[in-house]
Structure 1
């Protein structure tokens, strides 16, 4: 049924030589239909034309879509260069210090430990003053060493620290953006409900401005400083045997790189048991006075024995303390049961028999 009108239309088009008057209207109508179809095809053809000033498709594909300035992963070579330069800087300083120990005055332990301690204190511009150059050649070396460490190594390390911090911040920002896009795919009601709850991410990341919150950065900076001071205070109080005020004082001076020189690390565990060579030489060559004789006379005999003189000098150099001497004296008194001031074979035999 539906195909019959199309058959009539086809017959009309294929019989143009008909002379009947009834066939004229179909011819007119068919020509109008043909014109209408041609006009429709022409309009469709014109719609596909593109503007001559439009950029080519190849150029549009070449336009970069990511304009972010985040640090590239291949920038890790900066970390490698900084690590190599730092190792070279510290190695040169330790080698020169180990082969020229007599040119430096300071507390003495293992040469490598002392040299590494001197290099790090110099590079950080703290300046405790416990190790210092005393000869002209050592002072010239210290000048170049300070300038290189302050002007080059510090700049390189600062760039590395900034790069690492920026990389971590960008990672947090990208993670938050991905989380935000995931939340946008959910329903609007659920998203608004979650935003009103103020999750911990909201306190870290500012979604409106697209960056980490300034308050968080300030709190992190203050937290690092306070944590460093607290850990330093506890270490100095427990290892260096300083009181609480002196421990806090030295810790603050170390973190702020002030270093007046009145306090420094002195124990083996803190700056890995060292003694001051200059003070020791001064103590050994100093002439004894009347006050020294009275202080060193432990038995109140009016004269000093060799053992008493040795103990006095060791105490003056700081190699032993008073409590150590008291413990040794108590042990001696236990062995000297006759209070003769001597430990004899009889005392030892009587002690074993008991």
Structure 2
């Protein structure tokens, strides 16, 4: 079985990639429907909003995007109680749509990059000669663990690099469009671009021309969430680094007498391999005592004869 597991196809990456692309499609469709609904409500009620008008449809889309992205320049604002209630509902629901869409896009790109890297790892693995079954099992278990750890670090680094790169590109594109379309000076272009993607939106500068608002309707939709994701991924990278430090400390420190008594779950005076693994995982913060208890309860349900092991008849009896 240890040898056979190497030949079994692992569909995890295909499932992840498929689910990410499906999520992107569903979120994009819902977002388009939601924006269309907002544009219709604004278009039929223009007197309920204040601001400089350029084109009814573009102004409606611009207002919906600025509201959904929580920027709030103030150049277009709701006036009546109904319009204010509409703005409240629109921003609360719409922000979730954008977040789901961007999450799906980022995960889809990362899955593609991972599949390319893992394809090379699998090719190198298949070139190695297989030894005895027990040796093969141990070797592939260690290799799989190393690959999993490397995948986790690689994914976090890819996410941080991708998010930061997107932020720089978004700010740069916004600065160029503001300079050539809105005719602002360079400092104000950078200022408005950064204030926009960070959703600050003081309101002293805003998009006033028709092409500018049309561009902002597409640009703000993506750039604001990209910045939020970048800060989230940076926090995730710091947490991962901290967890790796704790893991290295736990693995390299010497076991003491107190550890012996703490890890001896069966109170038989010695530590088995499984007890040692469980104790170290607890120290790393990977599992809790509650998790161990739930797993033991599940094992006891399968071990109907209280023999301390699960056999094939036990599994067949449990499924029948």
TM-score interval w.r.t. the shorter chain? 0.5 to 0.7
Q: Deviations 1:250-298 (Å, cap 9, x if unpaired)?
A: 01011112111111111222114xxxxxxxxxxxxxxxxxxxxxxxxxx
2:150 is aligned to: 209
Q: 1:67 Cα deviation (Å)?
A: 5.0
In the TM superposition, 1:94-133 aligns within 5 A as 94-133=39-78
The correspondence for 2:184, drawn from 242, 247, 251, is: 242
> Are positions 1:91 and 2:36 aligned together?
yes
- Structure 1 residue 93: Cα displacement: 0.3
Task: Give the number of the structure whose alpha-carbon radius of gyration is greater.
Answer: 1
Mapping for residues 94-243 of structure 1, pairs under 5 Å: 94-150=39-95, 152-178=96-122, 180=124, 184=127, 209-210=150-151, 212=154, 217-243=159-185
Contact 2:68-2:91 within 8 A present in 1 as well: yes
Q: For structure 2, which runs of at least 5 residues remain unmatched after alignment?
A: 129-146, 215-320
Query: 1:213 offset after TM fit, Å?
Result: 7.3
- Give the SS at the match of 1:108: coil
Whose RCO is larger (CA < 8 A, sep 6+)? Answer: 2
Alpha-carbon distance between aligned partners in 2 of 1:64 and 1:114, rounded to the nearest angstrom: 58
1:17-36 aligned within 5 A: none
User: What SS is found at the alignment partner of 1:257?
Assistant: coil
| CA distance in 1 between partners of 2:6 and 2:160 (Å) | 39
- 1:218 and 1:74 map into 2 onto residues whose CA distance is 22
More helix by share: 2
Cα distance change on mapping 1:180 and 1:131 into 2, 3 Å: farther
| Contact 2:39–2:57, Cα closer than 8 Å, also in 1 | yes
Residue 91 of structure 1 and its aligned partner are, at CA, apart by 0.7
Cα distance in 2 for partners of 1:229, 1:207 equals 35
Partner SS state of residue 246, structure 1? helix
Does the 8 A contact of 1:71 with 1:166 survive in 2? no
74-83 vs 243-252, greater mean Cα deviation: 74-83
Superposition deviation, residue 81 in structure 1: 1.8
What is the number of residues matched between the two proteins? Answer: 194
- Structure 1's unaligned 5+ residue stretches are 1-54, 186-205, 273-354
Partner of 2:249: none
- CA drift of 1:222 comes to 2.4
Q: For the Cα contact (< 8 Å) 1:71–1:163, is it kept in 2?
A: no
- 2:209 maps to 1:267: yes
